[in-house]
Amino acid sequence: MDFKQQVIDAITAALGDELTQEQITKLIETPKSNDLGDYAFPTFILAKSRHMAPVKIAAELADAIDASQFEKVVATGAYVNFFLAKTTFAKEVLATIAEQGSDYGKQDLGHGNVPIDMSSPNIAKPMSMGHLRSTVIGNSIAKILTKVGYTPIKINHLGDWGTQFGKLIVAYKKWGSEDAVKADPIKNLLEYYVRFHKEAETQPELDDEARAWFKKLEDGDAEATRLWSWFRSESLKEFKRIYDILGVEFDSFNGEAFYNDKMDKVTDELEAKGLLQESRGAEIVDLSKYDLNPALIRKSDGATLYMTRDLAAAIYRHDEYHFTQNLYVVGMEQTEHFKQLKAVLKEMGKDWSDDIHHIPFGLITANGKKLSTRKGNVILLEKVLGEAVDLAKVQIAEKHPDLKNADEVADAVGVGAVVFHDLKNERVDQFDFNLEEVVRFEGETGPYVQYTNARANSILAKTDAKADATVTLDDANAWPVLKQLGAFPDMIARAAKEYEPSVIAKYALKLAKTFNQYYAHTKVLVDDAGLPARLALVQSVSVVLTESLNLLGVKAPKEM
C-alpha cells in the first residue's frame, strides 16, 4: 500500500477541483517530529482563492477529510497533519519486506541500456584517490539503475592515447629499463613521467621529441606501437587488481585509442553538413547560439582532440547499444565540455543527444590540496585501501578478538569505509580525506552501518523463535524504525532520478541510528506474544541495511 498516496487521495477528495493531484503531491511534507504526524499538507496556497487565513483553512479542511483510514487527521496552525494507522502500516511494511527480501524497493521506472562512462584512469599512471569518485559513484549508479529497471553498461574509457605517450616513450628511452618496468610497472612509469615534466622545464626540446614520438605512434610505427601496447597491458593488470579490491567490474575497457578509426567519419559528417568553420587555422563548430564557446574539432596541424573522440564515442555507443540514457560520470571541471558535446550532436541532427547526461562530482583533496599526478602530489588508491583494512583489523580485534573470519571482515569493513565515505557526500561537494575519520565504528561512517547490521543479525542468532510479520507489532518505540523501512522505495526512486548515491548512504545512516535508538529502549528478546513481530522488525532492518550497502557497492558482514 502506498501510504503517501492514501494521504494525497484523501486531500484530493476533500478539495475537489481546487488543486490538481500533481499540485497536492508537490506540497506534501514530512514533519520533522513524529509528534506532528507522518505527513503534513500546508494550506497557504489556498488563502488567496478562499480569502481566508491559512489557520482557518487548515481547521476546515481537517474536518472535511475522511479520517477513517488514518489514526487521526488534525489541524496544527496552517497545516493539516496526518497520523497513519500504525498497526496497518507495520503489518504491510514488514510483510512486504519478508516476502520480497533483497528485491524490496525494486521498481519499474524505466527500461533500456544505459552506458555509464566511469573511472577512466590514464595508462602508465597509478590509480589515485582522484580516481575513486568516478569509479564508486558510477558503480553505485549502475546498481541503483538496475534496481529500477534499466540495464547499465559500465564503460571504462581508458586514457590510452594522446601526447602523454610521446612523453612517456621519450622518458623510458632516456631513463628507463625493461627490467624496472616489469618489476613494478606503474611506479616506475610514473617516475619517468614526473621526471620528464621536471626536465622539460629547463629542456623544452624534450617536448618536441615527445610530439615526434606521438606522431610516430599515430602513424603506426612498430617501435612506438610495441611500447604503447606494453605500457597499456601492464597498466590494465594493475588497474584490474584494484578494481577487484573495490568489487567493481566493467563491461568494456574501450578507451580513447578504440576510436582512432572512427573520427574521420565524424569530421566528414560535420563537413558534409556545413558545420566545420576555420578559425586561426583550426577547425571548429560555432556554438554561439547555445551561448557556448566554439567546439575545437581539429587543430591547425590536423590532429583531432578530445571533442572529436567523444563525438565518435557517443555515436558509437548510440549505434552499438541503442541507449535510453548515456551517462558520463566525470569531474565538474568538464561541465563545459559535455555541454559542447551535446550541442554539436544536436547541430548534427542527432536528437538523442537529449539523452546524454553529465554526472559531475567535486574534488577529493588531501590537506586542502588538489591531487596532481604531473606534480607527483598523488595519494595512491591501493595504499589507502590497504591502510583502511589495517585500521579495521585493529578495531575488530578490540571488539571481537575471537572472530573466525576476521581478515575477510576487515577487508569488507576497511574498503567499505572508504567507498561509503565517498558516497555519503553529495556528488557535487568537494571534501578533504582523512582516513582515521573514515574507518570508525561510531559516527556517520560505513563501519557504523555495517556494525548495526551485524548487531541485528546477532539478535536474530540468539533465539530459536521465528520472525512473523503477520503478528501485530504494538510497540510505540518501533514506529520511527517502521517509517524508515517504509521510506526505502522512495529513497531508491529519488537516488535514481537524481543520479545521487548519497541519498541511499544518508538513508542507511538514518535507519541505523533509528534502529540503535529502538534497541536501546526495547528488550527485543523477551519471550512474549510480541516477540515474532519484533524479530520481523529486526530482520527487516537487516534486509534493508544489507540492500542499502549493496546499492553503494559495500559488503555487509553478518558478524563484526
Q: Does the reported pTM lie above 0.85?
A: yes
Instruction: Give the pLDDT score at 377.
Output: 58
Instruction: Give the pLDDT score at 125.
Output: 85
> Is 91 contained in some domain?
no
The answer on 547 and 460 residing in a single domain is yes
CA angle 119, 121, 127 (to 5 degrees): 100
On the question of pLDDT at 460 being above 80, the answer is: yes
The amino acid sitting at 231 is: F
Instruction: Give the pLDDT score at 44.
Output: 97
Give the CATH number, domain containing residue 187: 3.40.50.620
pLDDT band for 437, please (50, 70, 90 cuts). Answer: confident
Q: What average pLDDT is seen over the chain?
A: 94
Give the CATH number, domain containing residue 23: 3.30.1360.70
> Is 198 contained in some domain?
yes
What percent of the chain stands above pLDDT 70? 97
> Is 330 contained in some domain?
yes
How many domains would you assign to the chain?
Answer: 3
On the question of pLDDT at 111 being above 80, the answer is: yes
Residue 75, helix vs strand vs coil: strand
The answer on 216 and 163 residing in a single domain is yes
> Residue 187 corresponds to which cell in the numbers above?
611506479
The answer on 354 and 385 residing in a single domain is no
Long-range interactions of 468-471: CB distance < 8 A, separation 24+: 468/532, 468/533, 468/535, 468/536, 469/91, 469/94, 469/95, 469/97, 469/98, 469/533, 469/536, 469/540, 470/91, 470/95, 471/529, 471/530, 471/532, 471/533, 471/536
pLDDT band for 190, please (50, 70, 90 cuts). Answer: confident
Instruction: Give the pLDDT score at 305.
Output: 82
On the question of pLDDT at 376 being above 90, the answer is: no
CA distances from 231 to 119, 252, 329 (A): 18, 19, 25
The answer on 222 and 323 residing in a single domain is yes
Least trusted range by pLDDT, from 239-243, 420-424, 440-444, 480-484: 440-444
The answer on 186 and 69 residing in a single domain is no
The answer on 226 and 330 residing in a single domain is yes
Q: How far apart are the C-alpha atoms of 336 and 341, rounded to whole Å?
A: 9
The answer on 386 and 340 residing in a single domain is no
pLDDT band for 472, please (50, 70, 90 cuts). Answer: very high
Instruction: Give the pLDDT score at 374.
Output: 52
> Is 375 contained in some domain?
no
The answer on 151 and 55 residing in a single domain is no
Least trusted range by pLDDT, from 38-47, 336-345, 398-407, 494-503: 398-407
On the question of pLDDT at 223 being above 90, the answer is: yes
What is the mean predicted confidence (pLDDT) over 148-166? 95
* Contact criterion met (CB below 8 Å) for 129 and 369: no
The answer on 361 and 216 residing in a single domain is yes
* Contact criterion met (CB below 8 Å) for 94 and 533: yes
Instruction: Give the pLDDT score at 218.
Output: 87
Residue 114, helix vs strand vs coil: strand
Instruction: Give the pLDDT score at 433.
Output: 84
> Is 90 contained in some domain?
no
The answer on 426 and 335 residing in a single domain is no
pLDDT band for 367, please (50, 70, 90 cuts). Answer: low
DSSP string, 171-189: HHHHH--HHHHHHSHHHHH
Instruction: Give the pLDDT score at 157.
Output: 97
The three state secondary structure string of 427-470 is: CCCCEECCHHHHCCCCCCCHHHHHHHHHHHHHHHHCCCCCCCCC
> Is 281 contained in some domain?
no
The answer on 390 and 312 residing in a single domain is no
Q: How far apart are the C-alpha atoms of 535 and 398, rounded to whole Å?
A: 28
The answer on 155 and 33 residing in a single domain is no
Domain range enclosing 31? 3-84
On the question of pLDDT at 364 being above 90, the answer is: no
Give me the count of residues in the chain.
560
Q: How far apart are the C-alpha atoms of 166 and 214, rounded to whole Å?
A: 4
> Is 376 contained in some domain?
no
> Is 324 contained in some domain?
yes
Rg of the Cα atoms in the chain: 28
What percent of the chain stands above pLDDT 90? 87
Backbone angles phi, psi at 3, to 5 degrees: -70, -30
**Per DSSP, which regions of 171-291 are E strands?**
276-279, 282-285
